[in-house]
Structure formats: C-alpha cells, structure tokens
Amino acid sequence: MKTLLAASVFLALTTPLYFAQDHSVDEASSRWGREYFPNVELTTHEGKKVRFFDDLIEDKVVMINFIYTNCPDACPLETGRLLEVQGILGDRVGKDVFIYSISIDPARDTPEVLKAFAEGYQAGPGWTFLTGDEKDITLLRKKLGLYIDEIQNQENPNDHNLSLIIGNQSTGRWMKRSPFENPYVLAAQVGEWLHNWKDKRDTGRSFENAPELRSITKGESLFRTRCAVCHTIGAGDGLFRVGPNLFGATDRRDRDWLERWLTAPDVMLAAKDPIATELFERYNKVAMPNLRLQEKEIVDLLGYLEAETRRVEKTEAIDFAALEAARDPNAPSSCCLKQDNEIVTEEIVEDLRVEHEAEVEQAALERRLRLKQAASFASIGLGLILGVVTIFLHRRQSRSREA
C-alpha cells in the first residue's frame, strides 16, 4: 500500500510536467499562453512597470512563488530555499531561468520594501520581487493554482498556499513544487528537465556508485527541513546562507536562551531581547521565523546541533574560533559574504570515508566480541544447569537405592 501511494503521489506530481508529450509544442504553448495567463501590470522591486505575460513568462523557464515580507512563519523558508537554488544555478539565473516572488500584501509591500527585502537576502540578477493591485495578484494566484479558498480567512488574509510553480511557457510544461524540496532537485528540474536537457553535462557519476543511504536522527531531519535553508554548521556546501553559521551555537549560547529562542523568536525580538536584536541587525535585518516547534522537537534539534559541532571539530580542519576572533567586528558576518563560503575538500571527504569504514569495522568487531561473550556465558550457564540437574538425578537415584 505504501509503495502504491508513493507511486500515485509521484505520478500526480510529475504528470503535469509531461502532458505536452501528447500534443505539439505549438498546441501546448497556445493552451497555456496569452489567452490563459492574465497579462496584468506589476511593479518590480526596482520600480519598473512590467506585464506578467509579455515581460515575465513568455518563452521563459520560470520559478514563481507568493510571499509577504512581514510573514513570521514559512515565507522566509521559501525565500531561503530559492536563495539556495539561485546559488546552485549561478549566472544562469537571469539568462535562461527567471525567479519571481510576488507579494500578496501589496498595501505594505511597496517597491521600496521589496527592494530592502531582496537586499537582505542578497538576491541576485534574474530574481525579481513584484507587487501590484491586490485583485490582479489574486487572479494570478488562481490561474497558477496557488489560491485555495479553504485556507483564506478574514482574520488572516495573508494565509496562503506555500507551493511554488515552475514552468516553461513555450512548451506548456508546468509543475507545482514544494519550497521545502531539496534545492539541488529544484535546480535540476528548472535547469535541466524544463530545458529538455539541452545542456546535459556528463559528471562521470552513476547511481550504481551512489553511497548507501544512512538513517538520520529526528534532530537532523528537523535541521534539514527547517534550518538548512538559512544556516550551515561548519564549512557547509559552499552555498550562501542568510543566517549565522551554527557551529558551536550550543557552546556559545545559554541553553535556556536557545530553547526560548527556538520556541518564539518573534516574541523575543518584539521584546527587544539584546541577543535577538543584535542578531537581527547583524544579519541584514532578516528575522528568524517562528517554526512552531514543539518541546521535544527543540530538544532533538539542539541535540543535533551539539553532535554536529563535535563532528565538525574532528573532521574539518578549520579554526572557527580564530576566524571569529580575527574578523572585523564592524564588518558583515562572514556567512553573508558569498565569496567567503568554504567547501569541504575531497581530502576531508576521503578522511570521512576512511573514518566511517574504520568505525564500521570496529563496530563489527565489537559485535562479534559481544556475540562470543554471549555464547560463552550461555555455554557456562548451560553447563551449570546440566551440572545441577546431574547432581539432582544422582542424589535421587541414591535415595532410591537406599530405600
């Protein structure tokens, strides 16, 4: 049943991407062309007037999501994920892939506000933030399948579908994706799938040589899905992150403060907690979102941060303490400078592999030793039992003969 469900979900997600195979490209592009998409006027974060169809999506491969800049919850995670995709695609963004983030709160998200928001995340060329008339934006959301009546309410009109849309207007291929998808998968979908693999690169890698998947802890799962879009621990993967490096966070911060921060960062920032305020100012005024974590989740997450810090200390030859001490206190955080990101080297990866193999071998050796000890104890125990039984039977026979 689980396999069938997984297959059904996969087909449901991928079928829209390939529907054009049964039709000509002209028919697909016509069906999802000017007659379908509203050509409404929008304003970019740079104050430029544009038309949605004519200027933004016609004959382009695009990623489109809807946000609002004062969102305390998931919007920052959406933006952080697109930031990762931008880093993976590099200078292709703005050339053959375009990213659009459209505000659903145009009354507050003026071009000036959107520009500051884009600068806070260091969005590069080819990633445009847009605002416009609320009715036009609602129409776009409906046409793109991202407006769900059931979640719209008067108390919080900014409740919205977190999915994003990727598509190639010229071929008529469109696909709804989760902003919490692996950024490398998203980058491959817009950079290769939607371009029909025209720039397919031979990496020399094969799935048959892929490493065995390992089990991950609940804390690591939480970090990957909630934190990794904005943070790394140690050298990371070379992609820019808008938040601080969390290496040693559990050593630098009081445990009680960390628990309160993960529970309600928006409340602490509103109360002008000194550390929260300093972090907000230091990291381009990008606020930490309230992830609605439960107490057990916070314990698991902090446990992972501590364990990962200890692992990084052993495996990455980087003196983070010295780097922090030498950094100009008036300069932007090194995590916010794209050129300062360090990539784990092949030597470190090889060391990790050798260390892992040694740990596996040691674990196997200890397991064999425990089995031998258990077998030995079992043998001794069986011998004792047989001895007792033998003595009991011998005495019973002696009493029978005496009688």
Convert the pLDDT of each residue in 338-382 to its tens digit. 323 333 334 444 454 455 556 556 666 776 777 777 667 667 777
Same domain (yes/no): 66, 188: yes
CA 85 to chain centre: 11
pLDDT band at 72 (very low <50, low <70, confident <90, very high): confident
Pairing of strands 61-67, 98-103: parallel
Same domain (yes/no): 240, 321: yes
Q: Which residue has the higher pLDDT, 114 or 344?
A: 114
Asked, for residue 76, whether it belongs to a domain, the answer is yes
Same domain (yes/no): 154, 22: yes
Looking at residue 108, its amino acid is R
Same domain (yes/no): 279, 304: yes
Examine the fold and report which residue of 344, 377, 394 is the final residue of a domain before the chain moves on. 344
Q: pLDDT above 90 covers what percent of the chain?
A: 47
Asked, for residue 7, whether it belongs to a domain, the answer is no
Tokens of 20: 């054009």
Amino acid 74: pLDDT: 75
Q: Is the pLDDT of residue 15 over 80?
A: no
73: exposed, middle or buried (Cβ count in 10 Å: 0-12, 13-18, 19+): middle
Same domain (yes/no): 220, 299: yes
**How large is the average pLDDT for residues 123-132?**
96
Tokens of 211: 């490493």
Pairing of strands 164-168, 61-67: antiparallel
Q: Say what the pTM is.
A: 0.67
Q: Is the pLDDT of residue 220 over 80?
A: yes
Q: Where is mean pLDDT largest: 18-32, 193-207, 315-329? A: 193-207
Looking at residue 279, its amino acid is L
CB atoms within 10 A of CB 72: 16
Q: What is the mean pLDDT of the chain?
A: 79
Same domain (yes/no): 197, 219: no
**How large is the average pLDDT for residues 100-121?**
95
Range of the domain at 398: 360-403
Asked, for residue 183, whether it belongs to a domain, the answer is yes
194-218 tens-digit pLDDT: 988 876 666 666 777 777 878 889 9
Number of domains forming the structure of the chain: 3
230-275 tens-digit pLDDT: 999 988 788 888 899 999 999 999 999 999 999 999 999 999 999 9
Asked, for residue 389, whether it belongs to a domain, the answer is yes
Tokens of 70: 């004062």
Euclidean distance between CA atoms 259 and 241, whole angstroms: 22
Asked, for residue 70, whether it belongs to a domain, the answer is yes
Asked, for residue 352, whether it belongs to a domain, the answer is no
Same domain (yes/no): 217, 196: no
Same domain (yes/no): 172, 46: yes
Q: Which residues contact 294 (CB under 8 A, 6 or more apart)?
A: none
CB 167 within 8 A of CB 194: yes
Asked, for residue 349, whether it belongs to a domain, the answer is no
Asked, for residue 2, whether it belongs to a domain, the answer is no
CB atoms within 10 A of CB 297: 17
Same domain (yes/no): 167, 47: yes
Same domain (yes/no): 159, 240: no
Interior angle at CA 130, CA 129 and CA 133, nearest 5: 160
Same domain (yes/no): 190, 225: no
50: exposed, middle or buried (Cβ count in 10 Å: 0-12, 13-18, 19+): middle
Same domain (yes/no): 177, 261: no
Q: What is the CATH number of the domain that holds 197?
A: 3.40.30.10
Examine the fold and report which residue of 149, 175, 202 is the final residue of a domain before the chain moves on. 202
Backbone phi, psi, residue 113, to 5°: -65, -45
Q: What is the CATH number of the domain that holds 240?
A: 1.10.760.10
**How large is the average pLDDT for residues 164-169?**
94
Examine the fold and report which residue of 144, 167, 202 is the final residue of a domain before the chain moves on. 202
